[in-house]
Amino acid sequence: MRKPLPIAGAIIVSFALGLVISLSGSGAGSDSAHPPIDLPAAATQVWFPPLSDYDTGGEPLDDERFDALLAALDEAMTADETLADIELEANVHLWNFFRRLAVPAATEEQTARVYAYLMELGERHPDHAEAITGNATTHIDRYAVPSTDPPTMSSVIVNHTYQDWFNPGDKPFSDAQIDGLIGALDAAVGIPDAADDFARESATHFSLFANRLQNGFVSDGQHARIVEFFDGLKARHPEAAEAIDKALLRVESFTPGRMAPNIVGKDTEGVEFALEDYRGNIVVLIFSGEWCGPCIGEYPYHHFILEQHKDDPLVLLGVNSDGDVETIRAAKASGKAPSYRTWWDGHAEVSTSGPIATAWGVTGWPAIYVLDEEGVIRHVRSTRGGSLIATVGRMLSELRMREYEAQAAAPVATTDAETGEDEGAN
């Protein structure tokens, strides 16, 4: 079916933009030392009583523990390290303070004292009053009601652990970039408040670390250093061995340069098939769903690729997460969803945690992986819109060049006539 001109025009523009992006890259391209990993002092030092002291199971918090907590907040907020950069440090201190009020039931008098303290502190530092009091009412109201678990410390420090310098832009990582990423992860999971609940606190950082490695290619030597780091973590935190192994699996199996694990499952028509069935082709693996607006937004590009490369060794495969398989069947039948073969990974409800998506550690939708003809993951980040079109076009060109070079290097068979030998003369 002929595409409407606006869509075709958008695809052409996106293709051109994707080509520019894919060819330019932003890699550091240097093995010079990585920038320092500077976490706030509010995260790297011990400022408050242990979090476990405030696990009352939802019972009221006694005045003795509350007084100790408020005194610790005052000491933290007036420390030299904090006053040197209130905008940075105050937010972390306040988050850590309110984490300890999340589980117990605070009295009206206690919440009033917290509010009064923060207002008074804001008056003492008028230039930074917003940083001190901006979220006070929201936090007080939220944490005055008991909850099951305190929020993680990881959620407030993740923005301090990653720098654009670490992104190679779909090119090989330098050793310094890998050192920087390992250093950032080590700093993040090594803060004092991560020790009591390491598996829970480290989960976010592990996920982000694996995602960041998808921005480029990790060499075998670099991969070995990453594995060594995770082995060291497991030795220090044996109680979190399962969480660490799960994080390492994502690094070992789902980043560029690693062999993609095989997928075996049933397609939308109930027929079983495997990812390995398509070896020899470049494979675009698409985790998607009709419930997902951005996923649907990729459909025009997928239609374009299917038409443009229908005679090439290129295959698109889907992993669908809709709760009812009829949803994706209807979308394919109408022509809205592309016609590529698709595993159904949903289970009676909108499911982003089906067995395939879970095994692949998919946390964002759509998630698109491009595999080479041997089943090795080559691209994860340059796989949306025009960038995907440019990526598969470049990979097809590289495949043809490899095939040409292999043919040129193959020995040429000769006949007896060509060698001048007489078959009958013995």
| 27: phi then psi, degrees, rounded to nearest 5 | -60, 150
Per-residue pLDDT tens over the stretch 11-31: 433 443 344 333 334 444 446
Strands (E), 224-326: 264-266, 272-274, 282-288, 314-320
Residue ranges for the chain with pLDDT beneath 70:
1-32, 144, 348, 350, 413-426
The first and second tokens of residue 412, run together, are: 């040429």
pLDDT of the residue at 414: 60
What pLDDT was estimated at residue 416?
A: 58
pTM of this prediction exceeds 0.75? yes
**How many helices (H) and strands (E) would you count in the chain?**
19, 7
SS (H, E, C) the chain: CCCCHHHHHHHHHHHHHHHHHHHHCCCCCCCCCCCCCCCCHHHHCCCCCCHHHHCCCCCECCHHHHHHHHHHHHHHHCCHHHHHCHHHHHHHHHHHHHHCCCCCECCHHHHHHHHHHHHHHHHHCHHHHHHHHCCHHHHHHHHCCCCCCCCCCHHHHHHHCCCHHHCCCCCECCHHHHHHHHHHHHHHHCCHHHCCCHHHHHHHHHHHHHHHHCCCECCHHHHHHHHHHHHHHHHHCHHHHHHHHHHHHHHHHCCCCCECCCCEEEECCCCEEEHHHHCCCEEEEEEECCCCHHHHHCHHHHHHHHHHCCCCCEEEEEEECCCCHHHHHHHHHCCCCCCCEEEECCCCCCCCCCHHHHHCCCCCCCEEEEECCCCEEEECCCCCHHHHHHHHHHHHHHHHHHHHHHHHHCCCCCCHHHHCCCCCCC
Q: Supply the pLDDT for residue 418.
A: 54
pLDDT at residue 423 in the model: 45
**Residue 114 contacts residue 143 (beta carbons within 8 Å):** no
Q: Over the stretch 242-263, which tens digit does the pLDDT of each residue have?
A: 999 989 998 888 889 899 999 9
Q: Are 205 and 56 in contact, with CB atoms under 8 Å apart?
A: no
Cα(297)–Cα(293) distance, integer angstroms: 6
Q: What is the pLDDT of residue 22?
A: 38
pLDDT in the model for residue 74: 96
